[in-house]
Copies of this chain bind each other. A is one copy, B any other.
Amino acid sequence: MSLLVVGSVAYDGIETPHGKVDRILGGAATYIALSSSFFTKPSIVAVIGDDFADEDRQLLVDRGIDLQGLEQVPGKCFFWQGVYSADMNSRSTLRTDLNVFADFSPKVPDSYRDTPFLMLGNIQPTLQDNVRTQLTAPRTVGGDTMDFWINDFRDQLLATIANWDFLLINDSEAKALSGETNLLRAAEKIHAMGPKWVIIKRGEFGAVLFEQGQGHFVAPGYILDQVFDPTGAGDCFAGGFFGYLAENQEKLGAGPIPSQILRQAVIYGSVMGSFCCERFGPERFQTLTRDEIDARFREFAEFTRFI
């Protein structure tokens, strides 16, 4: 295993202008793992209830995801229900049932302890830190967070991200965390909190990678013919990004990751986020191929070229 993914494995109820599903596989760890599985062999640390469907487990197994760290306990899986606005740029949460996730205490199996790449999905910051310290000496650690932890668990969050290489957050979260509305100054402040690399996700407008002291890279969003369901797109970005780094592990060695590889990882992240939006939930990953992924990477090169 080269990439360990931590986060929720859940069920979602989703309504978009294109349709509605009452219950579909979801959760940050699910999306990150599925997305990264096209580049590397990820493993998961997460908790599920006894209502987790065999077919959903099979989908993860079929994608080569290691599930030794997927703990099953009595009770129900985490459940989230939401509805998107007409332009899908915002969404309202209708229901959040933590269920078995309320008592989640991540246990990293022994066989995972020397995993080099660690991607911490959006969960309670202290739990994220708990997972990191269970690993022997991770080469590269990245994580996501959200407004709730930024506002109400600020001290724990700052103590946690102090040990991260990468922070991946969206633009409003970057502003909330840094107290700066300007992206350049927000990134500078976040660098000072620990992460040498900050990736600010901007939804349909792409993402910006800030490398401490080395400038930034701006990736535009892929313009889809139809955005069917944006749920999980940010996590799929993280999966593509870390999956590509893990795929290039040998080439990287132990030294700093070259800017060119990081930039390509951002594009692969964007590619995976765009595919995610093409179907409800994680459905697109049932048919997606690496050839399609690489073709879209080349499309990014084509539609951004001007020299």
A residues apposed to B, CB below 8 Å = 86-87, 181-185, 202, 205-206, 208, 215-221, 223-227, 260, 263-264, 266-267, 300-307
Contact = CB atoms under 8 A, between A and B. Distances in A.
Contacts of A226: 182
B304 A218 contact: yes
Contacts of A306: 217, 219, 260, 263-264, 266-267, 300-301
Contacts of A267: 306
Given A263-B306, A264-B307, 7 more contacts: A182-B224, A182-B225, A184-B224, A205-B206, A217-B303, A217-B305, A219-B306
Nearest to A86: B181
Contacts of A185: 225
A160 to B, nearest CB: 27
Contacts of A266: 306
B225 A302 contact: no
Given A202-B205, A205-B202, A184 B223 contact: yes
A260 B216 CA distance: 24
A223 B171 CA distance: 13
Contacts of A183: 223
A264 B223 CA distance: 20
Contacts of A208: 223
B87 A181 contact: yes
A219 to B, nearest CB: 8
Contacts of A227: 182
Contacts of A219: 220, 304, 306
Nearest to A182: B226
B304 A215 contact: no
Given A205-B202, A218-B220, A225 B184 contact: yes
Contacts of A86: 181
15 contacts: A86-B181, A182-B227, A184-B223, A184-B224, A202-B205, A206-B220, A208-B223, A215-B302, A218-B220, A218-B303, A220-B220, A260-B306, A263-B306, A266-B306, A267-B306
Nearest to A305: B263
B303 A215 contact: yes
Of all A-B residue pairs in the complex, the 10 with the closest CB atoms, nearest first, are A263-B306, A218-B220, A205-B205, A220-B220, A218-B303, A301-B307, A264-B306, A183-B223, A184-B225, A267-B306
